[in-house]
Structure 1
């Protein structure tokens, strides 16, 4: 825990040394919120029938989609990005030569990204509430549980991406494809029911589909455990399979890089 906290403090100091960039990233949250707010006003009641399961409000629907997709994006990119930075600055080999476990290094390197993304998600939800999104009936306990399981699942995919970086020394083939594909078919900006049938079937293979549906029902409709249990259990299955697999893949990638003497190559 102390070593993981050290990663967090290190990255916090680095981020705060670029204050303008830090503030601009926060400003982007409010810009996005207003963009979707005005789009929802343009759509008006026309969007309600397709969103009946979530209360019929497009603005509420898309705010939760964008907020959760922030975690998905950072889960995919943060581990690979941190690894790439450590390679280019020459700190990766030094960290891996310490007694610190590989899993601690992997997870610790992404702590700041998740902390900052949590701040951004809170700003999305607060701004949404100020502009009329109602969370009066939200099942917050289930919402937090869904969010935690989602983060674990998304992180596992990101660690797999970092494994590709370790071996290939260049942009991995996983992050871009999965990120764009999930955005298109998983229901971030629109319900998957509007997609052609083959894409709806494909969406069932993407963990963010289950996370979005469960989180929206929990926060907007106050859904009970029984109502969203299938989606949550699907997320748990993804997490149970992908997390051990990703950590094992990363250990193999580190071992191969050590044998090849290519830890610092990029």
Structure 2
């Protein structure tokens, strides 16, 4: 990335941060959601004992670490298309589309701030779990959770770019993205062990990358055993990124060309 592109990306991140800070209580609402879920699942865990996760405290640690990963996944996949749609409706996408930075690099840069914010929310969720429940990772494991969350973000950012491409073509991609995230959360076992899934659908847990992502977080923070190794699961996530990122950029470039040809890039 050139120095000019890097500075433009920084400017977009600062812009999004300033927009957030311009609403006095918005940051409270961002953190209130995880707080509600942490408290909710703490009391739900008092009612749940699953053999594969052990005691109620084991289930609480299980679900909180899954939610931290889900926060990053959701931001990486859905926030770019949502931001694009808002830019189209507000009429501010024209400035990005006609700038020297260009719409393609602008779409890529739009992924940075939401992912950073989601990583903060994920870490806050973990800290809330430590404060309320029996989630007790050591300091090295807690520090290691930061690059683990970043790895999740990098792995799923290509899906966010594909959603952005779809937004330029059909405008509304929210429903499809929400459905995809829901499917990922179910088959990866965010809220319950994948061993409880029916046999006919359990294979989907092994062919998508969110399962190893959640597994790494649980191994680090809740001492859950892995079927393989941390490095093996990390390699699966990296491979997913390496394969899908070029395809997502090609799809986004094609969607931009389609929107230019039809003159609909900034229409809402």
> Scaled by the length of structure 1, what TM-score is found?
0.89
Question: How far, CA to CA, are the matches of 1:95 and 1:240 in structure 2?
Answer: 27
Indicate yes or no: 2:260 matched with 1:255.
Answer: no
Give 1:30's aligned residue. Answer: 35
Question: How far, CA to CA, are the matches of 2:139 and 2:14 in structure 1?
Answer: 37
Question: How far, CA to CA, are the matches of 1:56 and 1:122 in structure 2?
Answer: 19
Query: Against the structure 1 CA distance between its residues 144 and 116, is the aligned structure 2 distance closer, same or farther, given a 3 Å change threshold?
Result: closer
Q: Describe the superposition over 1:56-107 as per-residue Cα deviations: whole angstroms up to 9, x where unpaired.
A: 7111111110111001111121110111111112222321222215443113
Q: Which runs of 5+ in 1 are unaligned?
A: none
Query: Against the structure 1 CA distance between its residues 38 and 192, is the aligned structure 2 distance closer, same or farther, given a 3 Å change threshold?
Result: same
Question: How far, CA to CA, are the matches of 1:12 and 1:22 in structure 2?
Answer: 10
Report how many aligned residue pairs link the two structures: 261
1:215 Cα deviation from its structure 2 partner: 1.8
Tell me, yes or no, if the aligned pair for 1:71 and 1:117 is still in contact at 8 Å: yes
Give 1:17's aligned residue. Answer: 22
1:229 Cα deviation from its structure 2 partner: 2.8
Give 1:39's aligned residue. Answer: 44
Q: Which runs of 5+ in 2 are unaligned?
A: 1-5
1:124 Cα deviation from its structure 2 partner: 0.8
> Scaled by the length of structure 2, what TM-score is found?
0.88
Give 2:118's aligned residue. Answer: 117
Give 2:221's aligned residue. Answer: 219
- Where 1:19 maps in the other structure, the secondary structure is coil
Question: How far, CA to CA, are the matches of 1:187 and 1:173 in structure 2?
Answer: 21
Give 2:178's aligned residue. Answer: 176
Tell me, yes or no, if the aligned pair for 1:139 and 1:222 is still in contact at 8 Å: no
Question: How far, CA to CA, are the matches of 1:21 and 1:147 in structure 2?
Answer: 23
Give 1:199's aligned residue. Answer: 201
Tell me, yes or no, if the aligned pair for 2:119 and 2:146 is still in contact at 8 Å: no
